[in-house]
Amino acid sequence: MVQQRPWVAGLRRRQEQRSSASQGSQRRQISGKRKVAQRQRVAGQRRKQEQRSSGARPYDSRHGLFSRSARWMMGVAGAAVATIIVSVLTGIPVQLFDTVKIKDTLRTGPDLSATADIIYMDDQGNSMVLPGDFQPDPQLRRMMAQSNGAKSPQVISRLREAGGADVENLTVRVILQGRRNQQIRILNVRPILLTRTDPLNGTLFFSPPQEGDATLRMMFNLDEPTPIAHESIQKDEKGNGIPLKPGPPFFENTTISLNDNEQQVLVIRAEAKQHYVVFDLAIDYRIGDSDKTIVVSYNGHPFRITGMHYGPTRDTYSYQRAFGMTGDYSYCAAIEPRAIPIMSGEWCTHE
């Protein structure tokens, strides 16, 4: 039997002790990790059970990141829109936007309002011609037979409603009003010819002009092939008053502008001696960088004007029926409507 030395046996015991301690430590670490993993599994299972019972979706870190990004982008966009709206409403200039134009996009209705009525000036009469053989009803005849019946607004209105056309001269008053923040510039006023034929030869109501002058700036000669707006010439070279005649093109030297709620009144004379003309008025204008047109009529009906209808010679008028004005400005029926002497004083008789 071999006998070990005492120092060798001690060395072996110490090695065995170290090995035993190391193995115990490893077993404890493994056991601890297993317990942590088990606790995590239990906690995870509890969360899933709670989510199932509440109907909540499992948390996804990617979904949360997307939601945060979407919320950030929506916030930026909302701030931009808010900036524009505030700028529009407060007038704070925004470098990239035309705030005046944006304000106009928020307003409803037309850019420009235009209303028209027919007026009579001192240099023109109240003569009218109706198509065909027009026979006044008893009520209208009574109104015509009264003193000043030929100048009565009620008689004139009845004749116009029946389709009457003014004779040789027609004066239209147009009231324009701007309805935009941007300035509106009137480029042109022009007639839209709906009908142009020979003068009417139906029923004449003759009420010639008295002495007087007219003050207006714009006129049309509707006998021209393409009528345009002219300046009106009212005096000769010596400054004496003369009958109105067309001068240079009106918009060649004249500019008409309208600001918001600003009004301009145009008094326009239309003349026709050789034709019967039915027309509307077109007003061409510019707002911003857009050119537009608005059409104006009289109470929803076109304007009407006619020249006188002459007989075989230029010294007589010829109509199917005619009424002339007497000394007290009442109407009476013409004796011979197909051959009315132009230079005669009393050319009708009461029926």
pLDDT tier, 99 (very low <50, low <70, confident <90, very high otherwise): confident
DSSP conformation class of 299? T
pLDDT value at position 137?
Answer: 96
The token duo for 292 is 């537009």
pLDDT value, residue 93 = 53
Q: Higher pLDDT residue, 5 or 344?
A: 344
Q: How far apart are CA 243 and CA 277, in angstroms?
A: 22
Which residues does residue 267 pair with via DSSP β-bridges, in sequence order?
Answer: 173
How much is the mean pLDDT over the chain?
A: 82
91: left (phi over 0), alpha (psi -120 to 50) or beta: left
Burial class (CB in 10 A: 0-12, 13-18, 19+), 343: exposed
Distance CA 351, CA 342 (A): 21
Question: Whole-angstrom Cα distance, residue 178 to residue 185?
Answer: 10
Question: What pLDDT, on a 0 to 100 scale, did the predictor assign at position 94?
Answer: 47
pLDDT in tens, 294-340: 999 999 999 999 999 999 888 899 999 999 988 899 999 998 899 99
Does residue 348 surpass a pLDDT of 80? Answer: no
What is the distance of C-alpha 94 from the center of its chain? 26
d(CA 334, CA 325): 10
Predicted confidence band of residue 149 (pLDDT cuts 50, 70, 90): very high
What's the pLDDT band for 85 if we cut at 50, 70, 90? low
More confident residue, 206 or 46: 206
Q: What is the pLDDT of residues 207-242, one digit of tens each?
A: 988 766 777 889 999 999 999 999 999 888 887 878
- Spell out the domain ranges in the chain: 71-104, 110-349
DSSP alpha helices (H): ranges in the chain?
6-54, 61-90, 99-105, 138-145, 153-161
What is the predicted pLDDT for the residue at 104? 65
Per-residue model confidence as pLDDT tens digits over 102-132: 776 777 789 999 999 999 998 888 999 999 9
Query: Which pLDDT value is given to residue 302?
Result: 97
Contact 187, 282 (CB under 8 A): no
Dig out the tokens for 216 from the structure. 């207006």
pLDDT for position 330: 94
Q: What is the pLDDT of residue 2?
A: 45
Quickly tell me which residue has 């004749």 as its tokens: 159
Contact indicator for 145, 331 with CB cutoff of 8 Å: yes
Is pLDDT of 81 > 60?
no
Nearest to 347 by CA among 309, 336, 338: 336
pLDDT exceeding 90 applies to what percent of the chain?
54
The distance from CA 324 to its chain's CA centroid, rounded to whole angstroms, is: 44
Residue count (the chain): 351
| Closest residue by Cα to residue 230 from 214, 246, 254 | 246
Q: What are phi and psi of 65, to 5 degrees?
A: -65, -40
Q: Which two tokens stand for residue 16?
A: 């065995």
As a whole number, mean pLDDT of residues 165-188 equals 96
The DSSP bridge pattern shows strands 203-206 and 290-296 to be: unpaired
pTM score, whole prediction:
0.70
Q: For the purposes of burial, counting CB atoms within 10 Å of the CB of 240, is it exposed (0-12), middle (13-18) or buried (19 or more)? A: exposed
User: What's the pLDDT tens digit per position in 38-61?
Assistant: 777 766 677 767 666 655 454 454
The better pLDDT of the pair 65, 212 is held by 212
**Nearest to 41, CA basis, from 53, 49, 51, 52:** 49
| pLDDT attached to residue 59 | 45
102: three-class secondary structure by DSSP: helix
